[in-house]
Amino acid sequence: MRIVLASKSPRRIEILSKFAEFESIPSLVEEKYSKRLKPREIAMYLSLIKALDVEERIKEKNALIISADTIVVLDEILEKPKSREEAFCFLQKLKGRVHKVITGYTILNQKNLKKITDFEETKVQFGNYDNSFIDKYLDKNEYIDKAGAYAIQGYGKLLVKKITGDYMNIVGFPIYSISQHLKNDFNIDLMD
């Protein structure tokens, strides 16, 4: 079956490429949501609208579409920072505290319209670091295009004291949970 990843995220592409052949067709949908939704509902909703956007654009109707959206939550959603200054504020807020990383994901089979939307949640505790450490981290430019202003797969590891849950979820693609749904709900085994 043709697999389509509804993302241009280098991290998601890298992770899925280890297990399956697929093509990447990024969603073009604007990421808007109701503020009344809970964080996990937001992540799942955004993954769903991304999958539906790509599904609409694939004319052959023969693909299995996988989409994901990751958010960072500490009192509020810390989205992708719009500037270095905003990234600095996010990292100051996160230091010494536990926050949640939530990835919503959708798997949609175009042939029979079967669809699963679910989420993975991981708790991350940051260490206590000073402002000069934040500046050094921001100099690495890893905060750009990253929810919560950090990339755990890079220098962002130095911010993290403890993780409770799925590391790959923090990277943005909880491959274990996704693989279980693929196997159990869509009869696709990534080990084959």
Among 53, 69, 118, 166, the active-site one is: 69
Identify the CA nearest to 99 among candidates 69, 119, 121.
121
Q: What is the C-alpha to C-alpha distance for residues 63 and 144, in angstroms, rounded to an integer?
A: 31
- Can 189 be counted among the known catalytic residues? no
Query: How far, rounded to the nearest angstrom, does the alpha carbon of residue 168 sit from its chain's CA centroid?
Result: 9
Tokens coding 37: 């939704």
Single-letter amino acid, residue 69: D
User: Residue 41 region, left (φ>0) first, then alpha (ψ -120 to 50), else beta?
Assistant: alpha
User: Residue 140 region, left (φ>0) first, then alpha (ψ -120 to 50), else beta?
Assistant: alpha
Catalytic residues: 69
